[in-house]
Chain A
Amino acid sequence: MSGIARIESRSVALPVANIDTDQIIPARFLTTTTRAGLGRHAFQDWRWLADGSPNPGFVLNRAEHQGAEVLIAGDNFGCGSSREHAPWALLDAGIRAVISTGIADIFRNNALKNGLLAIVVTPAEHASLLAGAGEPIAIDLRTQRIERAGTAPIAFSVDAFARQCLLDGVDQLGYLLARADAITRFEEARA
């Protein structure tokens, strides 16, 4: 995993509340044994019509939003299942950050472990971001600020440990493996 310091992209708005993990990727695409290639099923039932053609009414299909890496979603994004396929699918579809007023616990955990930024802002900041959707936006993980031209930056906070792992481009397993002695002591003390 390479380090993530800053994302610069246009944003795209999907202001639907409670976008659950079944919308992000339906269960019928969880039949894989790898994590690759899930991007084409991201938002499957909103993005594709029954005949397999792109739904022209879905915002991510519009030409002007191609290449957008920052998704501004409605309240409570990622509720539902623990499927890590949800952040895998979003990342594979080119989304590198999701911003909402609320992000479900398991989704946020899964996202940060895979280099997908999951950022919570206040309702007022959210409204401002939605109003400016489609414009260039920068998310700086070092300063924990969302930057846009012509407006004051928005400060956000990502869990300090997850943030350092993302900046350094290391996964969290290494840290846990290095706790082996403490884990052994814990097991021996309970035995």
Chain B
Amino acid sequence: MTATTLFEKLWQSHCVEADRDGLPAVIYIDLHLVHEVTSPQAFSLLRERGLRMRQPKRTLATLDHSTPTTPPRADGGRDYADAATEAQVEALVGNCAEFGVTLHGYDSPERGIVHVMAPELGATQPGMTIVCGDSHTSTHGAFGALAFGIGSTEVGHVLATQCLLQHKPKTMAVNVRGRLAHGVSAKDLALHVAGQVGVAGGTGHVIEFRGDAIRALTMEERMTLCNMSIEMGARAGLIAPDATTVEWLRGRARVPSGAAFEASAQRWLGLRSDDAARFDREVEIDAGSVRPTVTWGTDPGKVVAIDARLPAATAANARAFEYMRLRPEAPIAGERVDVVFVGSCTNSRINDLRDAADLLRGRRIATHVRMLVVPGSERIKREAEAEGLDGVFRAAGAEWREPGCSMCLGMNGDIARPGELVVSTSNRNFEGRQGPGVRTLLASPATAAASAVAGVVADPRVLAAEVAA
């Protein structure tokens, strides 16, 4: 029998019809995640065509992108950025009621960023195909699921047929050997890999992250890494399930219990690339060489280690330097920071909040810095508050907000002012991503917290050493 990759196994097991004679494959979708921004046009398509949903139970909806992160008013109302964002939320509530879709809305204790709340519920499981009208659906690949973002037309296809027409992507192995050094996080690794692969390096490929450094990551860290696969241009990112995956899922609401769970676990643990499987491309990463890393440019591939100097000027990077108002060959540490954002589907989980709080405990953020901490879900918010993390953030001078996508893309009005520099734990540093003219530096939660305290871009290892002393 031919040795196959994990991707190949996932693909084959979901082929309703294989691709043939130039026709795309028909791929069955196990789980469809829906939010308010990219779904209204898809539900409209169903209505226009007189179609019903094929499998409403395979769709799960939540509210995250357009929702305010300020608490509800005393009268229960919410302070939306504008009437249009509120109308989007209303549209999803109406569509879910009309078509029979489970919605984790404001009344649900499980509401959250779609890529945070679905794994928490155990809706995300190894071996599944998962799609969502959101490019960071790659996050769910951390569980050994084939998960990728789609457009609104394809959202409509899945609503109507539970299937997608797909051409088979190529495969890329990113082999991460060794161990991450103390004080270096999964976000640093993700940014480092993005720098190595480049923002278009993964185009047309599904990445499988492999190696002992990957096996050593927690599920939260694996989600952070797979989340950023799309920033390498990849269709999806994958990590083979192991004991870490199984234990993380045990007891969650949507996974089976008892003997049925053990049977599922056995099946999940068999989902891995065969030893002799060949990838179309392989990239080697030495985990031990990764340092705390940030972006300096206007795409996630333009990265620099926190203690290194920026690259020399070239024709290709001139535009990024100009927009970011940074000088070639200057150190990145020490750049003045205006805003710090801890949140997003990349870094809003409990470990991320703990990483930031550990450096802020008993300290104040610089007086000129505004800091927002936005938990990824209601569940994380409760957990953080039970641990007293909200108090740590507030005492440090940061704002503790309601769950949502918030300043990652600023749809809900959480944005910075033109020219401001934001150290952000999110995933995209594109021009204007966090508001017109806003300059974004992507970083880990620890780097974000250290920079908030220093008021300038700062190496978290320095502050961590003070904390330990």
Contacts and interface: CB of A to CB of B under 8 A. Distances in A.
- The judgment on whether A and B are partners is yes
Interface of A: 16-18, 20, 22-23, 26-28, 30-35, 45, 50, 75-76, 79-84, 102, 104-106, 109-110, 113-114, 159-161, 171-173, 175-177, 179-180, 182-183, 186-187
A102 B154 CA distance: 22
26 contacts: A22-B433, A28-B410, A28-B415, A30-B37, A30-B411, A31-B37, A33-B40, A33-B41, A50-B436, A76-B203, A82-B135, A82-B151, A84-B41, A84-B133, A84-B153, A105-B235, A106-B135, A159-B22, A161-B165, A172-B153, A173-B156, A173-B160, A177-B51, A183-B28, A183-B163, A186-B28
Interface stretch (B83-91, B185-193, B244-252): B83-91
- Top 5 A-B pairs, shortest CB-CB distance: A160-B22, A31-B84, A84-B151, A110-B151, A33-B40
Contacts of A106: 135, 149-151
B410 to A, nearest CB: 6
B445 interface: no
Interface string B298-342: 110000000000000000100100000000000000000000000
A45 B151 contact: no
B274 interface: no
Interface string B423-447: 0000010111100110000000000
A176 B410 CA distance: 35
Interface string B154-193: 1011001111110101000000000000000000000000
A32 B200 contact: no
Nearest to A83: B38
Contacts of B233: 76, 79, 104-105
Contact of A76 (B38, B45, B154, B200): B200
Nearest to B234: A105
B24 interface: yes
> Among the interface residues A28, A83, A109, A180, which one has the most CB atoms of the partner chain B within 10 A?
A28
Contact of A33 (B87, B150, B160, B163): B87
Contacts of A79: 199-200, 233, 299
B128 to A, nearest CB: 12
Task: Say what secondary structure dominates the interface of chain B.
Answer: loop
Contacts of B24: 159, 161
B157 A176 contact: yes
Contact of A82 (B134, B165, B299, B428): B134
A97 to B, nearest CB: 18
A109 B16 contact: no
> Among the interface residues A22, A79, A83, which one has the most CB atoms of the partner chain B within 10 A?
A79
Contacts of A104: 200, 203, 233
A176 B430 contact: no
Nearest to B415: A28
Nearest to B66: A31
Range of interface residues on chain B? Answer: 35 or more
B211 interface: no
Nearest to B134: A82
B28 to A, nearest CB: 6
A122 to B, nearest CB: 15
B299 A20 contact: yes
Interface of B: 16-17, 22-24, 26, 28, 37-38, 40-41, 44-45, 49, 51, 54, 65-66, 81-82, 84-85, 87-88, 91, 133-135, 137, 149-154, 156-157, 160-165, 167, 169, 199-200, 203-204, 230, 233, 235, 298-299, 316, 319, 409-411, 415, 418, 428, 430-433, 436-437
A22 B157 contact: no
Given A80-B135, A161-B24, A179-B17, A105 B203 contact: yes
A17 B204 CA distance: 18
Nearest to B54: A183
A22 B298 CA distance: 11
A109 B151 contact: yes
A183 B16 CA distance: 6
Contacts of B161: 173, 176-177, 179-180, 183
Contacts of A33: 40-41, 44, 87-88, 91
Nearest to B131: A82
B17 A22 contact: no
Nearest to B410: A27
A145 B204 CA distance: 23
Given A20-B428, A27-B410, A79-B199, 20 more contacts: A18-B298, A23-B430, A27-B433, A30-B38, A31-B82, A32-B84, A80-B135, A82-B38, A105-B235, A110-B152, A113-B153, A113-B154, A159-B24, A159-B167, A160-B22, A171-B153, A176-B157, A179-B16, A182-B17, A183-B26
Nearest to A26: B432
B405 to A, nearest CB: 9
B323 to A, nearest CB: 11
Contact of B16 (A35, A113, A182): A182
Contact of B150 (A28, A109, A160, A161): A109
Nearest to B55: A187
A172 B432 contact: no
Nearest to B161: A176
A104 B66 CA distance: 25
A83 B381 CA distance: 28
Contacts of B235: 105
A84 B133 CA distance: 9
A172 B160 contact: no
B133 A82 contact: yes
Contacts of B154: 109-110, 113
Contacts of A34: 40-41, 44
B271 to A, nearest CB: 16
A88 B72 CA distance: 34
Contacts of B51: 177
Nearest to A107: B151
A173 B157 contact: yes
